[in-house]
Chains A and B, each alone.
Chain A
């Protein structure tokens, strides 16, 4: 088995599984948020902030945020290894992706916890 040092789980099967598990979490979260917005067009600040203040919603949001990081990493890693043949270019692209993902997670945690 060929292991790559830059893939998320260092082996393809693990990455494959992570991509699918996180995909289901992200689909569930996206459908929930879209459904909520479609069903309550006249949502007020109290309702909206109340929704995100609940512990269950915070768990769901953090789960989705971490899933986004893992899912996007596997996807962008796949794209970079397919199209970027030069090691330097690929390394820079993957570094930028990793940095942006890390920023999203820190920023997202602040938003979810109202810090």
Chain B
């Protein structure tokens, strides 16, 4: 190995291609979902605990903070699911070329953005 080869590990100076960005966001949304699961499980637990708990969840969902948290988790879920679907398509050989990869990343962003906006409209 030639140790004099230039090394640039300054991530802020990297030029990330679009598929790299969707890939890292796929990872970030995965972590967000893992953490966000505590809110979803808590809400499910409370909503199934009885009439009182169910109404408490309904009432809580009227608040901005609760809507914002749920919108965040649902947005992460939607992006993660769209990006994951793209992965499964690539696994069966669809869009494996360089052009296909970039197009797939663009479609992932476009479709999830539309779904995230729709989720926001649904919640508010």
Q: Are B37 and A20 in contact (CB under 8 A)?
A: no
20 new A-B contacts at CB < 8 Å, known A20-B88, A27-B85, A111-B45: A23-B84, A23-B88, A27-B81, A30-B77, A34-B74, A45-B51, A45-B54, A48-B47, A48-B48, A48-B54, A52-B48, A76-B30, A76-B34, A79-B27, A79-B30, A79-B31, A107-B41, A107-B45, A110-B45, A114-B48
Q: Are B37 and A49 in contact (CB under 8 A)?
A: no
A104 to B44, CA, bound (A): 12
* Residues of chain B within 8 A of A30, CB atoms compared: 77, 81
A23 to B83, CA, bound (A): 11
Most buried by B among A45, A52, A75, A110: A45
Across the interface, A100 reaches (CB within 8 A) one of B34, B55, B91, namely: B34
- Shortest distance in angstroms between A16's beta carbon and chain B's nearest beta carbon? 9
Q: Are B30 and A75 in contact (CB under 8 A)?
A: yes
Please give the residue numbers on chain B whose beta carbons come within 8 Å of chain A beta carbons, in ascending order. 27, 30-31, 33-34, 37-38, 41, 44-45, 47-48, 50-51, 54-55, 74, 77, 81, 84-85, 88, 91, 122
Also in contact, A76 and B31, with CB within 8 A (given A20-B88, A68-B37, A104-B37):
yes
Q: Are B34 and A72 in contact (CB under 8 A)?
A: yes
* Residues of chain B within 8 A of A75, CB atoms compared: 27, 30, 34
- Shortest distance in angstroms between B117's beta carbon and chain A's nearest beta carbon? 15
* Residues of chain B within 8 A of A20, CB atoms compared: 88, 91
The binding surface of chain B is classed by DSSP as: helix
* Residues of chain B within 8 A of A108, CB atoms compared: 41
Report the number of A-B residue pairs with Cβ-Cβ less than 8 Å: 49
* Residues of chain A within 8 A of B30, CB atoms compared: 72, 75-76, 79
- Shortest distance in angstroms between A80's beta carbon and chain B's nearest beta carbon? 11
A20 to B77, CA, bound (A): 16
Across the interface, A49 reaches (CB within 8 A) one of B31, B41, B48, B122, namely: B48
Residue ID in chain B nearest A31 by CB atoms: B81
* Residues of chain A within 8 A of B37, CB atoms compared: 68, 104
Across the interface, B84 reaches (CB within 8 A) one of A27, A52, A79, A100, namely: A27
* Residues of chain B within 8 A of A1, CB atoms compared: none
